Structure formats: structure tokens, C-alpha cells
């Protein structure tokens, strides 16, 4: 069998290639060529309406590239599509695939025969990519490579989807041993509302943006089985859309930092834990918030270690919001962390210039072995309304914290401030 290599696409130019082989024995005095031809065939061109019925795309060993798609296919209905291991599909400029309704799509390669989605030109952003709207739970990509995509956006109006692979609202999809490389923008966009996505062993590299754009409520699906380095901007970008976390979730240590665009709101049964060694960089208006109405069942736990602290810092090296806790009586924890440049601005609560840790209605928090540094206001801030007296704060536990370059308050009182959250504060 001829070993299939998608790079031959660019040598073949979609034509045919013939190999001629010769052989002779040692006893032959004159070796006559014995021709053995292997004709490599061009790809099969798929019409734009090809997937109006169930289809199986097969691996043809005589085709270095099995199929050619030269349009943006919008596949709808309940058709089922299967891709055999080893299949190579090439996409012309701006071509791509969109899976809608109840379309089922299974691209199940193997370690030795991955499925490859590539471009007719080996240039970043040459083709559009794949976008999933389908709610079919059987949709899965396994041992699959997507390269040279991330060109023209999938949508031109809100919600805006782009990247080599995008998962839109209500979609169901699983990615296992998926490689997304050499794209013209970010690799994966996973911020569709009410979508269900699972990931394992991703390799996202060589893309001209971040490796992943993802909503806060999905961020826990990324773990250390995956690699996200080698892109133009090596961050997991937690975007502003669908910022509420209402389940138990853990943000895992990855090989790149997180970049948080805006508010992340833990509420209504949400419990967010952040693993040791995680680095979180926040844009200027971004912050973490644990707050909701009764029964106050929500929490944030920052679980660093002495050798692997959790770092919370400003993406611009100057300022970000901070952490906002209200009412919660769960076991909120900040341990072995570094909190720096937090200004105490929380837009949803209409508070500004308060403290890195903002406390409303005496939330239960334990803070230990944490470094507060380069803070333009207080390290800790308690809301007391118009009250001017220091609050008792019976639910606040402090142990072995340190402070460097904190502008307000005093170290003997852990740089605590109080007041209405904006305007006049004490001491």
C-alpha cells in the first residue's frame, strides 16, 4: 500500500502521478525493465449538496488526497456522516463545513491512520474550518488533524464565530486526540451557549491567535492531557460570553496561562476550584465573583501550594478588578497564592477603588500563605455602607499572609479597609 501523505497534495496539483519500478535477478546479463505502475489518482470532488443523505467517506490508498471540497457546506437535517481512518480531505480557499440540526458527524481516525482536514494550499487561514451547531450527541473527532484553516469567519453577525474549529450554541461534540495547527486565527472557539463539549489530548499549535477561546462555564474541560503552546498568543482566553459558573468546576494547570476578559460569576450551586500552579491574567475590567441569592450555595477555592502558587495578575501589568465575595457561607479558600495589581473595581456591584478581596455581608473566607503585592488600594475590603467603625468579620480567617507595596491600610491589620465600596473608605 502506498503510504498516504497529505503533503503530496501540493506536489500532485490534483493530477495523476505514475511510479515506474524495475527489477532483475543477479544472473541476468542484461537487465530489462519490468514496469510496475502505481497510478495515484486525484481527489474526488464533492458537490456542495453531497451530504443530503447518510454518507461514509472511504480511504482510497491510490489517492493521496481522497476528497476535495470547494465551497462552504451547510449540512442540515438528521443525516449521519462517517469518515474512515486515514481519509484526507482538502478544502479550497474559504471552503468549510457547518453541521446543524441533528447531523451526526464521526471522524474516528487511529494513531496510525489519522484523519486529515487540510487546505489546497499550505498557508495559514487558507480555508474556513469546521463549525458545530448540531445537537447530535454522537458527534466526535478522534485522532484527527485540522490544518491551514481559520480563514474567513463562520458568521459575520453576532454571535461571531471564527477559528479553525468552533462549537456554537446547543451543540454536542467530543474531541479526543485532536490536532489543530497552523491556523490563520485562534485554534478552537468553545463559547456557544448551552453546548456540551468534552476534550482530551488536544494539540493546538502554530496558530495566529490564542489556542482556545472559551466561556467560563466550559473552561474546566481543558486539562493537562493537552498542549496549547507554540501559538502567536499562548493563553487560554476566557471570554466574556456565558460567564456564569453554576456547577462544580475545576480550572486545571495547563502549559499556558489563562487570560480572562471580563466578569466570571460563580453562583447558584457553582463551586469553582483553581488548581495549584495555575496562572490567571486578567484584563482591566475582569474579576472573579462569588455571589447570589439564597441559599448562598456557591464558592471559590484557590488551592495553590508552596512550590506551585496560584498567580492572579493583571494582563496589562497595571490593574484588574480582584475577587468579590458576598453572602457565601461555603468554604471559600485562598491558599498559597500571589495576588497583584488588583484595584478593587467590580462593575456589576458598582464598586471601584476598594480592595483586592471585596467582602459583602460577612462571607466565609480563609486566606493563608498568600502574597499581596503592588496594590493601588487595600488588600482586603469589607462593605459597611455608611458605617465608619472597623467591622468584626467573624467569618474571615487569616494566617501567614504577606504584603508588599500595598497603598492603603496597615500591615498590622492586613491592609484592611471598609466603607461603601466607592468614595470615602476607612482607615
Least confident of 32-46, 199-213, 385-399: 32-46
Torsion of CA 147, 151, 152, 155, to 10 degrees: 60
Please give the biggest Cα pair distance in the chain: 109
Q: Measured between alpha carbons, how far is 237 from 260 in angstroms, rounded to an integer?
A: 6
CA angle 65, 200, 193 (to 5 degrees): 95
Task: State how many domains the chain has.
Answer: 1
* Residue 332, in any domain of the structure: yes
Cell numbers at residue 8, please?
Answer: 503530496
Q: Measured between alpha carbons, how far is 427 from 425 in angstroms, rounded to an integer?
A: 6
* Residue 53, in any domain of the structure: no
State yes or no: pLDDT of 419 exceeds 90: yes
Nearest partner of 238 among 128, 152, 136, 315, judged by Cα = 315
Q: Measured between alpha carbons, how far is 264 from 257 in angstroms, rounded to an integer?
A: 16
* Residue 362, in any domain of the structure: yes
C-beta neighbour count of 54 within 10 angstroms: 11
pLDDT tens digits, residue range 244-281?
A: 999 999 999 999 999 999 999 999 999 999 999 999 99
pLDDT tens digits, residue range 79-131?
A: 999 999 999 999 999 999 999 999 999 999 999 999 999 999 999 999 999 99
* Residue 69, in any domain of the structure: no
- CB of 64 closer than 8 Å to CB of 40: yes
* Residue 364, in any domain of the structure: yes
Would you state the pLDDT for residue 39?
A: 87
Range of 302's domain? 243-427
State yes or no: pLDDT of 31 exceeds 90: no
State yes or no: pLDDT of 151 exceeds 90: yes
Cell numbers at residue 387, please?
Answer: 458605617
* Residue 140, in any domain of the structure: no
Cell numbers at residue 16, please?
Answer: 495523476
Q: Measured between alpha carbons, how far is 3 from 147 in angstroms, rounded to an integer?
A: 19
* Residue 422, in any domain of the structure: yes
CA neighbours within 13 Å on the CB side: how many for 225? Answer: 13
* Residue 168, in any domain of the structure: no
Find where cell 511510479 sits.
19
The DSSP string of 335-403 is: ESEEEESB---BGGGTB-S-EEEEEES---EEEES-EEEEESSEEEEEE-TT--SPP--TTEEEES-EE
Q: Measured between alpha carbons, how far is 237 from 261 in angstroms, rounded to an integer?
A: 7
74 phi and psi, to 5 degrees? -110, 100
Rg of the Cα trace of the chain?
27
Would you state the pLDDT for residue 336?
A: 98
Would you state the pLDDT for residue 25?
A: 47
pLDDT tens digits, residue range 285-306?
A: 999 999 999 999 999 999 999 9
Alpha-carbon torsion (244, 249, 255, 257), positive or negative: positive
Amino acid at each position: 500500500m502506498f503510504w498516504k501523505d497529505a503533503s503530496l497534495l501540493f506536489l500532485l496539483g490534483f493530477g495523476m502521478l505514475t511510479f515506474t519500478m524495475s527489477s532483475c535477478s543477479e544472473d541476468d546479463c542484461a537487465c530489462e525493465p519490468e514496469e510496475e505502475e502505481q497510478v495515484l489518482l486525484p481527489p474526488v470532488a464533492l458537490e456542495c449538496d453531497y451530504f443530503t443523505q447518510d454518507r461514509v467517506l472511504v480511504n482510497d490508498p491510490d489517492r493521496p488526497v481522497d476528497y476535495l471540497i470547494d465551497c462552504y457546506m451547510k449540512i442540515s437535517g438528521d443525516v449521519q456522516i462517517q469518515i474512515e481512518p486515514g481519509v484526507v480531505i482538502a478544502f479550497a480557499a474559504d471552503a468549510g463545513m457547518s453541521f446543524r440540526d441533528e447531523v451526526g458527524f464521526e471522524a474516528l481516525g487511529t494513531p496510525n491512520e489519522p484523519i486529515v482536514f487540510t487546505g489546497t494550499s499550505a498557508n495559514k487561514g487558507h480555508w474556513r474550518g469546521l463549525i458545530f451547531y448540531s445537537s447530535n450527541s454522537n458527534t466526535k473527532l478522534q485522532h484527527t488533524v485540522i490544518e491551514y484553516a481559520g480563514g474567513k469567519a463562520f458568521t459575520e453577525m453576532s454571535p461571531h464565530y471564527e477559528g479553525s474549529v468552533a462549537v456554537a450554541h446547543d451543540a454536542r461534540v467530543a474531541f479526543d486526540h485532536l490536532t489543530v495547527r497552523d491556523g490563520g486565527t485562534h485554534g478552537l472557539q468553545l463559547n456557544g451557549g448551552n453546548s456540551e463539549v468534552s476534550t482530551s489530548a488536544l494539540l493546538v499549535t502554530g496558530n495566529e491567535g490564542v489556542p482556545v477561546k472559551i466561556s467560563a462555564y466550559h473552561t474546566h474541560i481543558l486539562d493537562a492531557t493537552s498542549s496549547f503552546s507554540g501559538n502567536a498568543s499562548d493563553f487560554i482566553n476566557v471570554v466574556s460570553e456565558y460567564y456564569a459558573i453554576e456547577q462544580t468546576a475545576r480550572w486545571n494547570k495547563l502549559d499556558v496561562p489563562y487570560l480572562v476578559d471580563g466578569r466570571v460569576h460563580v453562583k447558584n450551586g457553582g463551586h469553582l476550584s483553581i488548581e495549584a500552579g495555575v496562572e490567571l491574567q486578567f484584563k482591566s475590567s475582569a474579576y472573579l465573583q462569588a455571589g447570589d441569592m439564597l441559599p448562598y450555595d456557591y464558592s471559590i477555592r484557590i488551592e495553590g501550594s508552596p512550590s506551585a502558587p496560584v498567580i492572579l495578575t493583571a494582563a496589562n501589568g497595571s490593574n484588574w478588578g480582584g475577587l468579590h465575595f458576598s453572602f457565601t457561607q461555603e468554604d471559600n479558600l485562598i491558599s498559597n497564592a500571589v495576588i497583584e495589581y488588583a484595584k478593587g473595581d467590580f462593575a456589576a456591584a458598582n464598586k471601584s477603588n476598594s480592595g483586592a478581596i471585596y467582602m459583602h455581608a460577612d462571607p466565609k473566607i480563609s486566606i493563608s500563605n498568600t502574597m499581596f503585592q503592588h496594590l493601588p488600594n487595600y488588600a482586603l475590603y469589607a462593605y459597611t455602607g455608611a458605617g465608619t467603625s472597623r467591622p468584626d468579620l467573624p467569618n474571615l480567617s487569616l494566617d501567614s499572609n504577606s504584603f508588599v507595596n500595598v497603598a492603603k491600610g496597615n500591615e498590622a491589620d492586613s491592609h484592611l479597609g471598609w466603607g461603601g465600596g466607592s468614595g470615602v473608605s476607612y482607615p
